[in-house]
Amino acid sequence: MDVIDDPRFATALAHFQSGDWLEAADEFEELFFEAVRDEVEFVRVFLQIATGMHHVSRGQRGAAIERLAEGIKAIDRVTNDRGMDFVALRDRVAREITRLRQ
């Protein structure tokens, strides 16, 4: 079964899309440790970004920038985007990093 077919992925993605960053990060972390082959970088994208955004919500700019930058690196390593719009996601994350650095 591919990671996107796992019901936990749908739950994690719903948390991610609604801005429930800590919940999303917790769900993606579980999936990350079970990921195989090209799923690893795919799930890492969401884990790093959710964690980074959780840091943003807590006012932890340095940690947020680090995690979000790791999310961008993971996007760049993904070989199978599984239909996700990583171009748009990468752009949004890059804008957030720029905002945090100002």
Listed by start position, the domains of the chain span 3-101
> In CATH, what is the architecture of 3-101?
Orthogonal Bundle (1.10)
> What is the pTM assigned to this prediction?
0.96
Q: Rounded CA gap, 40 and 17, in Å? A: 20
Per residue in 26-69, pLDDT (tens digit) is: 999 999 999 999 999 999 999 999 999 999 999 999 999 999 99
The span from the CA of 47 to the CA of 34, in Å, is 13
Residue 42 pLDDT? 98
Give percent of the chain above pLDDT 70: 100
DSSP codes of every residue in 36-69: -TTHHHHHHHHHHHHHHHHHHHTT-HHHHHHHHH
